[in-house]
Amino acid sequence: MPTMVLCVKFPNMAIIFEKSYGRDTTFSLQEFFVECLLGKGHVSVGGGNPHTPLYIHHFDGTSIQMYENKEGMDWFYDDLSKKISASPNLMQDIINDQYKLLPFLKEYWSNPSLTDAELAEYLPLARRAMENLTLYYLGIDEGSPAAVKQMATELRKVDELGADHDGFVRRIVESRGYPAAYANVLHADELSAMPARDVMDKRMRGAIMIDGKEIFAGTLDEYTSQHPEYEFEGLGQTHTNVTEVHGQVAQKGLVSGKVRIVKNIEQANALLEREIIVSPMTTPNFIAAMHKAGAFVTDEGGIMCHAAIVAREMKKPCVIGTKIATQIFRDGDMVEVDAEKGTVRKI
């Protein structure tokens, strides 16, 4: 008799990570952020999330790319919505708490030479303020009631916490005799006892942070080869012969100019008058460059993102959410930004 072969198909057991955004930020800030999403703080939200790792942060040598566990973030949204429904005053309490924290944080931000004891006092306050900002997610969650969305957006406007913290950490690192760029790949508790320079130099060539804790020094490709159970959407995807991208219009206008890829402050400082900023996402430390730029184009962001808000204030053409602009264009490319149609094309 012929041998019968039984084929059993197993479901895809990979954990899917979606690219959420890229930013010139620090591991320490993202560490606080993920701790809060996992419920390790004063707001009882996110604890017990069954979908982990929740976030993988990849420093690619210029900026940090964030990949989120879609199932885990959906679970967080649901848990957060339930908490808000059960405690209608929670959002306002958090906004009030944030306003109370800011004066104390600003005192620390104004002093780049903190002692280890002062730094130990600052870090819990920064953690708490970052946890408050996790409720901003309700402002971008389509399922949130209109009133909650409005309050969440108000919370997002309570100072530029992320940018101020990152700038502060870079000044701390520099005051201790290290390059400010090392701040990108440091845990918060390493600020008072920094690793050896060879360790830091290795991280600066590429580093992965998993759920705000473990750090893997290497490329994302190297990391995924060791963790086949993780699948990163779009990783390795190429875009050949693409000369035009499409996005959302944040501020209307039509302008042509040379591209300047801006992923960090060093690249922002190199921008020349009337060049077109093409960035994963702009941040407040890019403001000086944005004043000189002819237009802004981003991979990520919605109508309330930083680039969109600044573009409307400066009346400069802006196309956001192109997803791939930083992969398609290169420094010096001549492009036309048509912020009437939402297109950016090489000319």
**Is there a contact between 69 and 37 (Cβ–Cβ < 8 Å)?**
no
* Residues linked to residue 22 through DSSP beta bridges, in sequence order: 65
Q: Output the average pLDDT for the chain.
A: 86
Residue 45 has pLDDT above 90, yes or no: no
How many whole angstroms from its chain centre is CA 24?
8
Q: What is the mean pLDDT of residues 254-265?
A: 94
pLDDT for the residue numbered 42: 61
Question: Which residue is associated with the tokens 């993988």?
Answer: 56
Which pLDDT tens digit goes with each residue over 155-189?
A: 665 556 788 899 999 999 998 899 999 999 999 99
Range of lowest pLDDT (150-164, 200-214, 215-229): 150-164
The encoded tokens of residue 52 equal: 């982990």
DSSP letters along 100-139, please? HHHHHHHHHHT-S---HHHHHHHHHHHHHHHHHHGGGHHH
Please report the pLDDT score of residue 246 as a whole number.
Answer: 96
* Tens of pLDDT, residues 273-323: 999 999 988 988 899 999 999 999 999 888 778 899 999 999 999 999 998
Q: How confident is the model at residue 2 (pLDDT cuts 50, 70, 90)?
A: very low
Query: In whole angstroms, what is the distance from residue 215 CA to residue 189 CA?
Result: 13
Q: Check residue 160 and give its pLDDT.
A: 67
Paired strand residues for 272: none
More confident residue, 89 or 122: 122
Closest CA to 306 of 323, 324, 318: 318
Residue 8 pLDDT grade (very low, low, confident, very high; cuts 50, 70, 90): very low
Q: Is the peptide bond before 53 cis (omega within 30 degrees of 0)?
A: yes
Cα→Cα distances 85→89, 90, 131, 145, Å: 9, 9, 19, 10
pLDDT given for residue 3 in this prediction: 44
The closest alpha carbon to 80, from 70, 71, 90, belongs to 90
Please state whether beta strands 55-59 and 15-23 pair in parallel, antiparallel, or not at all (unpaired). Answer: unpaired
- Partner residues linked to 259 by β-bridges: 276
Determine contact, residues 148/91, Cβ cutoff 8 Å: yes
| Per-residue model confidence (pLDDT) at position 272 | 96
Look at residue 253 in the predicted model and tell me its pLDDT.
97
pLDDT of res. 337:
98
Range of 62-66, 88-92, 98-102, 249-253 with top mean pLDDT:
249-253
